[in-house]
Amino acid sequence: MNDRQGLPAGLLATAAWQERLDAAVARHRVPGCQVGVLALDDEGGVEVRVLASGLTSLDTGVEVTADALFQYGSISKVWTTTLVMQLVDEGRLTLDTRVVDVLPEFALAEAGHAEAITVRQLLTHTSGIDGDVFTDTGDGDDCVAKYVEALAEAGSTTRPDGPLSYCNAGFVLAGRIVEVLRGTTWDEAVATHVVGKLGTRHAVTRPAQALLFRAAVGHLPDRSDPERPVAPAPVWTLPRSVGPAGLITGSADALLRFAAAHLRDGVTPTGERLLSAESARAMRTPQVDLTARSTVDNAWGLGWILTDWAGPDGPVRAAQHGGHTIGQHAKLHAFPELGIAVCVLTNSDDGAGLVEELLALVGEELGLRYPTPLVDRDAEPAVLDEMLGVYETVLARYTLFRDDEGGVSAKMARKSPLGGEDELVEPPTPVRPAGRGRFVSVINGADTEFTRVVDGEDEYLYMYRLFRKVSAPTA
């Protein structure tokens, strides 16, 4: 089906839209932002519009322009998937190739797990590997290889091919597969096999490259100054070793040109073939059903999350992904049926609320309604009693407990890698029941769904990644 409609004449193109963006940035207390839209025309060309607002850094006062760079964060996973699918196109591997057949050195702490994991499981977050592994293995070209070696001590969240749990480590492994089969670094593979085909310079993977452009700095909450609720983060980026999971930095224009290649079934705006049409379509074909876990997301494809927006004649499917790094939030939604893509890039840890508001505003002009979590307004806190408890990943502890007012609240703490006291990073916040086994809470300024998942004797909270239940509530 082809319902290409082009872009409304005024979308992101009027003084009123600039005022609307500036007001939203100020209201959410986000230092800076880009919002962009792209549409394919009937001849296969593209129209891109980008609007910018605010500052790249509160310390420097440098303004955000349309060509400024923001961190894409985990949207980078779709780029890494694209690199893997290029290798599939070339017959260098298949989705069902075992990882150890390409990386014989790959091992995990759980006996037998590494040998069972396939490339498909890496790209669909079903490898079972504990995903929140951010080992810093230095800045050398061998950092990804060293990261893979260090996984020999990493644990597992589930068995291979078990319940989906968001896994950064799996995409670093995918990036290492690219390195081995290409005989180069992941960074160079991105530059040569993706960015070089898009007709843009404004997408990079290394901090030294970002310095050549106007680059946004992440901002974190600052409780000490009510007049300045966020402050520039002390660290600009994550370790180079996790690049394939989330270290591409670029402009909204470059991100939309990447999306255009997928909307055009593998052909970039410059006319070069990035992927075969078969692989581009496979990436947005459902692999893992999410309807039992989410009222927002339908399925996980290969790299992409598949989400329906409400349209005038029924649901309209988006291939989408978000990103969250050190004080930056990003989101990309591409609509294959419409030939349209939209993205929002921000430089605040609490930027998720702004991202969702802007996506909803753009959606209104496109005749689409942005999907948000469904809340059961009649549900009593008692429907969550079976979920109360303490849940953990390797880096975080999430506690769901009955508060003094009889409601249900939650708090998040970061687990110290050195042991000892946890550092509280989120104060207790009330949650809203969304029916049995599900609730909604505000995370980074946006409504976020949590769902109970039971797998054999194990119980989890699902919020993209799985938090394993370890005990009854302690507070």
What rounded mean pLDDT belongs to the chain?
A: 93
Q: What is the pLDDT of residue 1?
A: 36
pLDDT tens digit sequence for 180-230: 999 999 999 999 999 999 999 999 999 999 999 999 999 998 877 777 889
What distance in Å separates the CA atoms of residue 153 and residue 160, rounded to the nearest whole number? 16
The parts of the chain modelled with pLDDT lower than 70 are 1-4, 416-425, 474-475
Q: What is the pLDDT of residue 41?
A: 86
Nearest to 3 by CA among 369, 340, 416: 340
User: What are the helix (H) ranges across 302-403?
Assistant: 352-366
Q: Which residues are tagged catalytic? A: 74
According to DSSP, residue 475 is labeled: -
* C-beta of residue 325 within 8 angstroms of C-beta of residue 444: no
| Chain CA centroid to CA 7, Å | 26
Q: What is the pLDDT of residue 36?
A: 98
Give the three-class secondary structure for 168: helix
pTM for the model: 0.95
412 bridge partner residues = 398, 426
What distance in Å separates the CA atoms of residue 473 and residue 475, rounded to the nearest whole number? 6
